[in-house]
Amino acid sequence: MKISGGKVFDLAKGFVERDVCFDGALLTPDSRDEKTYDASGCWVIPGLTDVHFHGCRGADLSDADPEGLQTMAEYELSRGVTQICPAGMTLLEDRLMEVCRTAAAHRRKNRPGADLVGVNLEGPFLSLAKKGAQNGDWLHAPDAAMLRRLMEAAEGLVKLVSVAPEEPGALDFIREASEEVGVSVAHTTADYDTAVEAFRAGARQVTHLFNAMPGFTHRAPGVVGAALDSPWSRVELISDGVHIHPAVVRATFKMFGPDRVVLISDTMRAAGMTDGKYDLGGQEVTVKGPLATLADGTIAGSVTDLMACMRNAVSFGIPLADAVRAAAVNPAQAVGVFDRVGSLEPGKRANVVVLDRDLGVKAVFFKGRQVV
């Protein structure tokens, strides 16, 4: 099979005109059969990886519901997100254990839909003062033993864990946890010095940069400044047009460069649904257009899927090649699957998305099979 005539995402050159060939589930240097998909006038990009979203289509990872997770995997695949690493909210340990077991069972059964490549534990090791839409009653001091129990329940699927580095025991937690999972600085009041220490201790990501943390100001650069000074770190960015002003999206790409920005959707269960009232981690959220808020007005996740976030980033002035890098390459690296997916090199999975001129999803190939 070959996809021909399109402009193809290339790691080194941005976009090039070439064929994308595959044989079965894997990309190949050329194609043996005659089957061709005509992508003239289209963009051909790798399937995206969303490393931070909670739910969609009425389902949420935190429900610990196998059918819900299945719904999420199928919806994301239909949007061109071929790998998912959904995020749990702040919940009690028992519930998080169920979430982890449900994810592990889903993966073991090899069910259809986007590939479940990880679980992201956004809670519970966060700061009460910056809890955002997390449930404050269920927050917990950073606890490496709890994380180990959760990792065991998830059968190794936990790939990211968030932590507020100013919480008691957080630095020891980061040292221990970062041996096995990606530690992300999140929901925090940390100043610059504390955040620098967190990155030195092994943290390598920031959860939704700018959201739920002090700002970046001239005498108090905070987590943002610390991440800038820690070049091994990546920063998540929600480019739904609600969480972050377009000028800040542009500034972030300029400051961090396109290799360090990880676009995330942070969607909750209302993504792909109509306006109304929904639950997020035990709290009621009202959804109107692109805005999801708690009763007090706190922004509570997004309803804009990752492909739409990528399209937004382009509409804000980010070059398409940089936006694709931030939605396909960098997130795959962040959860350790870039050796298999995230670019269109021969040998990788044939997870390929064809976008029309307006960046709408025209076709999705998943493991070599056209699913959209």
The answer to whether 324 touches 338, Cβ cutoff 8 Å, is no
Output the six-digit token pair for 271. 């993504």
Distance separating alpha carbons of residues 140 and 34, to the nearest angstrom: 58
β-pairing verdict for 48-50 and 234-238: unpaired
Amino acid sitting at position 151: M
Nearest to 84 by CA among 68, 73, 96: 73
Distance separating alpha carbons of residues 294 and 286, to the nearest angstrom: 6
The answer to whether 8 touches 18, Cβ cutoff 8 Å, is yes
Output the six-digit token pair for 161. 């864990």
| Residue in the block written with tokens 């606890």 | 143
Amino acid sitting at position 165: P
Q: What angle is formed at CA 229 by the lines to CA 225 and CA 230, rounded to 5 degrees?
A: 115
Of these residues, 266, 322, 339, 356, which one is catalytic? 266
**Angle between the 93-109 and 66-78 helix axes, to the nearest 10 degrees?**
60
The number of beta carbons lying within 10 Å of the beta carbon of residue 35 is: 9
Distance separating alpha carbons of residues 255 and 278, to the nearest angstrom: 36
* 115 part of the active site: no
Distance separating alpha carbons of residues 281 and 16, to the nearest angstrom: 44
Please list the alpha-helical segments (H only) found in the chain.
Answer: 66-78, 93-109, 144-153, 170-177, 192-201, 222-228, 246-256, 306-315, 320-324, 330-334
The number of beta carbons lying within 10 Å of the beta carbon of residue 372 is: 14
Distance separating alpha carbons of residues 92 and 134, to the nearest angstrom: 12
DSSP 360: -
Amino acid sitting at position 85: C
The answer to whether 294 touches 284, Cβ cutoff 8 Å, is yes
Give catalytic residue positions.
266
